[in-house]
Chain A
């Protein structure tokens, strides 16, 4: 153990020839390794294309989808060299564990986690580049109530932190929009295989639409089994299903009539900028991109752009991130003063002919706030 400690100490003191150090601390193993891998790819792509010819050192530290692991990983990342920022996990519980460490080291964290409270706790070092769940759930709820005009809603979520958070927010939003779901269940374990009891209860409740907020695997199972159970009601999902790794599990026909909210849908390549980016991503990683990768890319690129324009210290970067506006690939980013920089969401639907959805709705800025 003594030998190992010496080695570690020695390794961490090796001077780096790079212009800056921006570590990546994300879940590469464990339960959220799909999402973690996506956001890692986005960050890596941005760091490899750092503007102004900057050379940035960006080692990757695995958090293991664990709060304790995340805290230690961030600690390791920030203590080995002076970091100007860190690109960090999408997992809310890990973010919460990382927040005190960011404050201790005074380094801004660039994340895409949707967990509302990370920017609502007064910690000035947290910057998120996908919409706050609180905002994006408004899009989810409004589309169902105002556009689809459905009144008998079945609200379902899984037991993950992501699921529970979204469930509570959707409940609140439906309430504000004047409806109460006819069926609610937030206790689906993410490894549940047979969804027929759930669908039986949904059918018995007389619901005419399902609002589902969960991680990808149970969402895929529910959507598939919904189709095959003969329960012919539409389903509006959270963004988990918009990941290409999730749609790959469907036959295109199984996706007919399925919709989802998503911060952006790069697979659909709706704008030339997104198309160029998505093609470059596909070439670099041999995978179709998703909104997580795009959001993380934009976030890291915003920081790198600010650095190329003269920001040199973490404190300056923090101040700049709170103040500046940045035109990214997916959208324009501007902080609302609390570290939420993304205020755009799409609603996408599949028509059954392809695995790539079409954008059918867009909400931005004020539209994502319900009084």
Chain B
């Protein structure tokens, strides 16, 4: 893309012009107070930028961001005023301290569900606030620490307001660059899927716990950096740097600016800081005006100011057509030969699995096995445990008894993402795609886990994200195999059901799995689509992929499955060649009630 088209995309141009105007203003017209306010905007922008990792990208409502900010400030304050350390020492430590705390509390806290996670982070924040208030000898108590010296590096003091302003914003620029590095590529899409649909993310091999942890620690690091800068700007640190009202400010800035966009952090911080300043003259009515305007903005701009600006732009100037990135489809090699193992016959074996929900036995001693390249159909009436079995195999549920063996290894206790990376992928009964991502990226994200995309690598890779390109290339190949290459750049939310179903299958396929678990893939498809899908699945099997298909639709399975297994109330009641299983009295009884002489089954017999 040329520079011109890059500039004109989205709201880049107005943002750049706005930034240039502000810089001009800061250089030429601003008085001391204006410089102070712009500096504060920068500090808060960095604060919010960090918060975007855990709240925006990872989708977890952490209420500890203010705590990390305050700890960063206190580390700087304590080291500078009590020990006389200078910026090159205090700043890295102010980042490391909160990050270390995040590492320690992150592991237990991130395991908790939504509300509990939020309250646990709030609780930790309250404990730290208590400590800051009471441990007067170290923290200065409720009065805090004062006389924090200005930033000094190698003998140069960054003391006057203008220098402080440039320094803070330079730090913000670095922070933005890092954030961009992390989220622009495959990892960014991984976060997107993870926050929209954790189950789908695990099933494509994304280690959610690790992703969340990384985001949490990053947030803490940024928060600490911002807190340290604040200490140098106002020369005071006190418990108010840690408290709930600062956390509220952070949340407000993030949601109003835009949760995941870098420009959103800056806009959000700027808007809230300036709102407060403009309304300060209203005395008693100051906070009422601020609260009302902030609330109105929240309601009017649900996806933040950035989202609102983008919407405005597309209203005025129309949406720019999304250009397909210049990529070549990579060859998608589905396994031709599975790796030799001790148990050469069964690639996947399930032994005596049992799982109960409350009093209901969903699975009651199920055993089966699949040979390499087989297509096995799993049938049974509603509630027989078919999906539950898939969930156990793919690692979303833990069974109470029994084991799952894959390629000779016991994978019963393995988490879902690990199972996906080992080579078992799946689709879902209800479609689990990221609505806002394009078809291409929805499929490509499945490579993130298996290819080992991680934070450190994303940080150091300059320029284009190679991994994203490779993943997209493979995604194009997978899309072609499912016949959806013509809608590659469409966001999934707008596509018809049948197409989305195929996107999901393509996503499961792009990781070149050895075993593909399909959960009612024909549901909701018309006859033509069903025939098409069955043919394609036969194609994968011919290339060596083992397929286990859960289905109600016996016509669909008739053309596809080499073997059928029938479940009823958690037990295997029949297993073998399709014709034989279909005629089995137990199967007919399970499906229909009693009478074997029923026309419906006769229909199913003829392919």
Contact = CB atoms under 8 A, between A and B. Distances in A.
Contacts of A8: 34, 277-278
Interface stretch (B137-145, B333-341, B361-369, B380-388): B137-145
B286 interface: yes
Nearest to A2: B21
B466 interface: no
A361 interface: no
B274 interface: yes
8 contacts: A62-B284, A66-B240, A68-B230, A72-B40, A93-B142, A93-B238, A104-B32, A160-B142
Contact of B283 (A60, A68, A99): A60
A164 B142 contact: yes
A28 B285 CA distance: 10
Nearest to A37: B284
Interface in A53-100: 59-62, 64, 66-68, 71-73, 75-76, 78-80, 92-93, 96-97, 99-100
B33 A76 contact: yes
Given A79-B32, A97-B235, A115 B143 contact: yes
B116 interface: no
Contact of B36 (A1, A60, A75): A75
A72 B37 contact: yes
What interface size band does chain A fall in?
35 or more
Interface of B: 18, 21-22, 25, 29, 31-34, 36-37, 40, 133-134, 136, 141-144, 146-147, 230, 234-236, 238, 240-241, 245, 270-271, 274, 277-278, 280-281, 283-284, 286-287
Interface in A78-132: 78-80, 92-93, 96-97, 99-100, 104-105, 115, 117, 121
B36 A93 contact: no
B275 to A, nearest CB: 9
Report which residue of B21, B40, B277 has the largest number of chain A beta carbons within 10 angstroms of its beta carbon.
Answer: B277
A1 B274 contact: yes
A60 B36 CA distance: 19
A8 B38 CA distance: 13
A129 B464 CA distance: 64
Given A62-B286, A104-B32, 16 more contacts: A1-B270, A4-B274, A5-B34, A8-B277, A9-B34, A12-B31, A29-B284, A61-B281, A66-B245, A67-B234, A76-B33, A93-B240, A96-B143, A121-B147, A160-B142, A164-B141
Contacts of A357: none
A159 B239 CA distance: 11
A29 B146 CA distance: 23
B144 A67 contact: yes
Contacts of A75: 32-33, 36
A115 to B, nearest CB: 7
Given A93-B240, A121-B147, A64 B287 contact: yes
Nearest to A105: B32
Given A2-B18, A92-B143, A104-B32, A72 B283 contact: no
B588 to A, nearest CB: 70
The 10 closest A-B pairs by CB, nearest first: A79-B33, A161-B142, A96-B146, A75-B33, A161-B143, A97-B236, A164-B141, A79-B31, A71-B234, A75-B36
A187 interface: yes
A9 B283 contact: no
Contacts of A9: 29, 34
Contact of B277 (A76, A78, A163, A164): A76
B278 A72 contact: no
Contacts of B281: 59, 61
Nearest to A13: B31
Contacts of B142: 93, 159-161, 163-164
Nearest to A7: B278
A165 interface: yes
Given A96-B146, A161-B141, A161-B143, A76 B134 contact: no
Interface string A18-59: 000000000011000000000000000000000000000001
A71 B33 CA distance: 10
Contacts of B25: 5
Contact of B235 (A61, A92, A100, A164): A100
Nearest to B147: A121
A235 to B, nearest CB: 23
A360 B34 CA distance: 51
Contacts of B134: 159, 187
B238 A67 contact: yes
Contacts of B280: 61-62, 73, 76
B144 A1 contact: no
B278 A4 contact: yes
B351 to A, nearest CB: 58
Contact of A96 (B22, B34, B236): B236
A79 B38 CA distance: 14
A114 to B, nearest CB: 12
Contacts of B21: 2
Contacts of B245: 66
B280 to A, nearest CB: 6
Interface string A315-334: 00000000000000000000
B133 A159 contact: yes
Given A76-B280, A164-B141, A164-B142, A68 B33 contact: no
A96 B144 contact: yes
Contacts of A159: 133-134, 142
A218 to B, nearest CB: 14
Nearest to A63: B280
B143 A62 contact: no
A16 B241 CA distance: 37
Contact of A99 (B22, B143, B146, B241): B146
Contacts of A163: 142
Nearest to B136: A164
B57 to A, nearest CB: 25
Contacts of A67: 144, 234, 236, 238, 240
Contacts of B234: 67-68, 71, 97, 100
Interface string A154-167: 00000111011100
Nearest to A77: B33
A169 to B, nearest CB: 13
Contacts of A93: 142-144, 236, 238, 240
B405 to A, nearest CB: 58
B32 to A, nearest CB: 5
Nearest to B143: A161
A29 B286 CA distance: 8
Nearest to A115: B143
Contacts of A160: 142
Contacts of A61: 280-281
Nearest to A99: B146
B230 to A, nearest CB: 7
Contact of A28 (B146, B230, B284): B284
A99 B21 CA distance: 32
A71 B164 CA distance: 16
Interface in A250-288: none
A108 B138 CA distance: 31
Contacts of A28: 283-284, 286
Contacts of B40: 68, 72
Contacts of B241: 68
B266 to A, nearest CB: 10
A64 B279 CA distance: 12
B144 A72 contact: no
Q: Pick the most buried of B133, B271, B280: most chain A CB atoms within 10 A of its CB.
A: B280
Interface string A181-203: 00000010000000000000000
Contacts of A168: 136
B78 to A, nearest CB: 16
Nearest to A24: B283
Q: Which of A12, A28, A160 has the most CB of B within 10 A?
A: A28
Contacts of A92: 143
A294 to B, nearest CB: 22
Contacts of A72: 33, 36-37, 40, 277
